[in-house]
Amino acid sequence: MIALLQRVREARVEVQGRVVGAIGPGLLALVCAEPADTEAQAAKLVDKMLKLRIFADDAGKMNRSVVDVGGGLLVVSQFTLAADTSSGTRPGFSAAAPPEQGRRLYEAVLRLARERHTPVAAGEFGAEMQVHLINDGPVTIPLRVV
């Protein structure tokens, strides 16, 4: 699975003008499933997201996790993270999981995250979404688990 994590001061997701998920300080996680991915990879991804030390400690060093700082987690499905841009100028998306598998794994990520952390907010799988965020730092971390 692939994720792009952004440390945020705040973030929200809108679908057709209505807010479907929002957090204050924490992590925005754009998440993509690939065809070979399983729920075991979803669990590893959630574990890594929650434990990744990208928040400042009292000395200003990145030494705290989103759990340590009590931050929010906003999880948004993002199949375009699997884009193949190796040839031409139009990305291909065949490396992303098929929609049914993608939905199942996205929902597994949400379920596992909610079992382990609070607050967890979400986008809407398969919807046309507008993501608003204030990136803190900026800190943006690509993450892949196999």
Catalytic annotation, residues? 78-80
Could you give the CA distance from residue 142 to residue 146 in angstroms, rounded to a whole number? 14
Could you give the CA distance from residue 26 to residue 17 in angstroms, rounded to a whole number? 23
> In 16-123, at which residue ranges do the beta strands (DSSP E only) sit?
18-23, 26-32, 55-56, 62-64, 72-77, 120-122
